[in-house]
């Protein structure tokens, strides 16, 4: 992948103490190849490499004590710059309702993005209404209705045949039902198509959106340039949602879009679930491409989940030890964060590690562990220490696993419990030394 190639190139540089101009020229050639292979637009690559090379070829860099680190920093800076430098928020006027319109090719991820955006805005205290203006794709309105029901956001379908009238009807409906944001999901074709463009232009004229967002599939190759340029000319748009940035998206598309259109990437769609939409951070994306890991992303995710309840739970675990119920909770929160593969993939070097597991980790261990814990009695969950051989056999039978599986789980619990024990004595020591002062 792009990330692996770039990491290799930069690692090779790090291995050298002093860098010559030839070393840098060589690294730049590798970077150029890696970007081209990842389908970054050729002109974008050319400009990027020229700029980066120029910044690296200075005496300051070559003669510094840590030239490789300087090069890495410059590549990271330039990549961040290419991706838009700063986060770009949704800009909404104080009009009620605000209107957000999504455009893009068929299959790019508009309908799911519409629902995700509605969900995000709802969490921010807005009351959204989804407008189903794709009247061509069979069941498109039903797809939106299903997603809407899942996140508790109403969907306006109108007469189901006239997209412009549906968009207008949705705005009226929003006024009547006290909704303050209308998200208009539109139809897209597989290729740029005059009728589709004309219709998007007409909807835009009719409802005058505060924001038109173009949804772009991260996996689109070189084609992306033509597509975004045409949309920029016809409907114009204020920003981009880059979709399907999960999985093995090469990210090349993301790199081109910003450079070619000058429009900011506002959101990244990273999965099929309603909460899989992130505010796009150029620096984080650049770090991810360079294999430096999305540590901030993990921390943010963890913070989102670390509510008061969990703090209380941590305190209790320190006080009373780690139970099987805690273990169950912990596994469930790893799942909520998207599973072990997702977490691992965001860690520095995680993508590579993941490949050793064939691209994904065996998440079924969660199912087995969960089944085992659910087969335990309350006493066993609270005080796993009492689980003897006989009980292990019973738990294995009850959960459709083997005694060896139960042993593995017990070992994991033992490790965790030990860790909490150590933390407890550390906390006690600290409390003790405070008192002695
Ligand atoms: P539309 O034709 O532009 O409305 O595209 P859809 O929203 O219907 O999405 C097309 C397909 O891509 C669906 O199967 C979605 O579930 C899937 N999809 C959309 N966004 C993402 C994403 O961020 N990640 C993944 N893995 N799949 C996505
Ligand atoms: Mg759709």
Whether 246 has a binding-site annotation, put simply, is yes
Q: Which atom of ligand 1 is nearest to the CA of 102?
A: 3
Query: Ligand 1 in contact with 275 (CB < 6 A)?
Result: no
Q: Is the dihedral of CA 236, 242, 244, 249 positive or negative?
A: positive
- Does ligand 1 lie within 6 Å of residue 246's CB atom? yes
**Confidence bin at 131 (pLDDT 50/70/90):** very high
Which of these, 103, 99, 168, lies nearest to 134 by C-alpha position? 103
Residues 35/45, Cβ–Cβ less than 8 Å: yes
Statement: residue 95 has pLDDT above 70: yes
| CATH number belonging to domain 98-288 | 3.40.50.300
Alpha carbons 410 and 299: distance in angstroms, whole number = 28
Ligand 1 within 6 A of 263 CB? no
On the question of pLDDT at 307 being above 60, the answer is no
Closest-approaching ligand to the CA atom of 136: 2
Q: Which of 89, 94, 84 is nearest to 126 (CA)?
A: 94
Q: Of 416 and 27, which is predicted with more confidence?
A: 27
Q: What pLDDT is attached to residue 178?
A: 95
pLDDT interval class at 349 (50, 70, 90): low
Residue ranges of domains in the chain: 2-82, 98-288, 300-436
- Among the bound ligands, the one closest to the CA of 135: 2
Distance CA 38, CA 48 (A): 14
- Residue 365's contacts (CB-CB under 8 Å, 6 or more residues apart) are none
Q: Which atom of ligand 1 approaches the CA of 271 most closely?
A: 24
Q: Is 52 in the pocket of ligand 1 (CB under 6 A)?
A: no
Sequence-distant (≥ 6) Cβ neighbours of residue 74 within 8 angstroms: 52, 55, 56, 61
Ligand nearest to the CA of 247: 1
Span 80-88, average pLDDT: 84
Determine how β-strand 155-156 pairs with β-strand 277-279.
unpaired
pTM: 0.69
Q: Kindly report the protein residue whose alpha carbon is nearest to atom 19 of ligand 1.
A: 109
For residues 366-388, average pLDDT:
91
Average pLDDT over every residue of 72-85: 88
Which atom from ligand 1 is nearest to the alpha carbon of 107? Answer: 2
pLDDT digits (tens, 9 = 90+) for 183-216: 999 998 777 788 889 999 999 999 999 999 999 9
CA distance 117 to 144: 12
CA of 284 to the centre of ligand 2 (A): 28
Summary mean pLDDT of the chain: 85
Supply angle C-alpha 70, 72, 78, rounded to 5: 100
* Architecture of the CATH domain 300-436: Orthogonal Bundle (1.10)
End-to-end CA distance of the chain: 56
Q: Which helix (H) or strand (E) holds 182?
A: strand 181-185
Question: C-alpha angle 231/108/48, rounded to 5°?
Answer: 65
**Residue 97, both tokens:** 């309702």
Looking at residue 437, its pLDDT comes to 43
Mean pLDDT of 219-244: 88
pLDDT at 71: 86
Q: Is the pLDDT of residue 300 over 60?
A: no
Omega before residue 311 within 30° of 0, cis: no
Determine the pLDDT at residue 46: 94
CA 435 – ligand 1 centroid, Å: 58
ipTM field: 0.99
CATH number of 2-82, picked from 3.90.220.20, 3.30.420.10, 1.20.120.140, 3.40.50.2300: 1.20.120.140
């Amino acid at each position: 992948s792009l990330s692996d190639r770039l990491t290799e190139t930069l690692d090779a540089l790090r291995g050298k103490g002093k860098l010559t101009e030839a070393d840098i020229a060589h690294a730049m050639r590798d970077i150029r190849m890696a970007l081209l292979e990842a389908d970054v637009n050729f002109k974008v690559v050319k400009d990027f490499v020229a700029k980066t090379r120029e910044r690296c070829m200075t005496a300051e860099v070559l003669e510094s004590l840590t030239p490789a680190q300087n090069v890495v920093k410059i590549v990271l800076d330039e990549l961040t710059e290419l991706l838009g430098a700063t986060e770009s928020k949704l800009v909404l006027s104080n009009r009620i309702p605000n209107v957000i319109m999504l455009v893009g090719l068929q299959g790019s991820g508009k309908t799911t993005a519409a629902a995700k955006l509605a969900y995000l805005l709802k969490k921010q205290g807005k009351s959204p209404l989804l407008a189903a203006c794709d009247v061509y794709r069979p069941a498109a309105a039903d797809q939106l209705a299903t997603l809407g029901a899942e996140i508790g956001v109403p969907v306006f379908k109108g007469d189901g045949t006239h997209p412009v009238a549906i968009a207008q009807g949705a705005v009226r409906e929003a006024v009547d039902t006290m909704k303050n944001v209308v998200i208009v999901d539109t139809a897209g074709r597989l290729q740029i198509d005059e009728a589709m463009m004309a219709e998007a232009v007409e909807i835009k004229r009719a409802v005058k959106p505060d924001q038109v967002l173009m949804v772009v599939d991260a996996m689109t190759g070189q084609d992306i340039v033509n597509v975004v340029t045409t949309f920029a000319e016809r409907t114009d748009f204020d920003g981009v949602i880059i979709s399907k940035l999960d999985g093995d998206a090469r990210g090349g598309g993301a790199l081109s879009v910003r450079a070619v259109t000058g429009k900011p990437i506002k959101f990244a769609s990273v999965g099929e679930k309603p909460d899989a939409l992130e505010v796009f951070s150029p620096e984080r994306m650049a770090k991810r491409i360079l294999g430096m890991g999305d540590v901030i992303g993990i921390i943010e995710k963890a913070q989102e989940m670390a509510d008061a309840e969990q703090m209380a739970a941590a305190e209790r675990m320190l006080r009373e030890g780690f139970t099987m119920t805690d273990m169950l909770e912990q596994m469930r929160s790893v799942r909520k964060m998207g599973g072990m593969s997702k977490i691992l993939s965001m860690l520095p070097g995680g993508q590579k590690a993941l490949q050793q597991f064939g691209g994904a980790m065996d998440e079924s261990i969660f199912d087995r562990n969960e089944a085992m814990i659910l087969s335990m009695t309350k006493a066993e969950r609270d005080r796993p220490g009492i689980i003897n051989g006989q009980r292990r056999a019973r738990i294995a039978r009850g959960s459709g696993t083997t005694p060896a599986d139960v042993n593995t789980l017990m070992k994991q619990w033992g490790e965790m419990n030990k860790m909490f024990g150590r933390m407890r004595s550390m906390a006690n020591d600290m409390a003790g030394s405070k008192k002695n002062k």
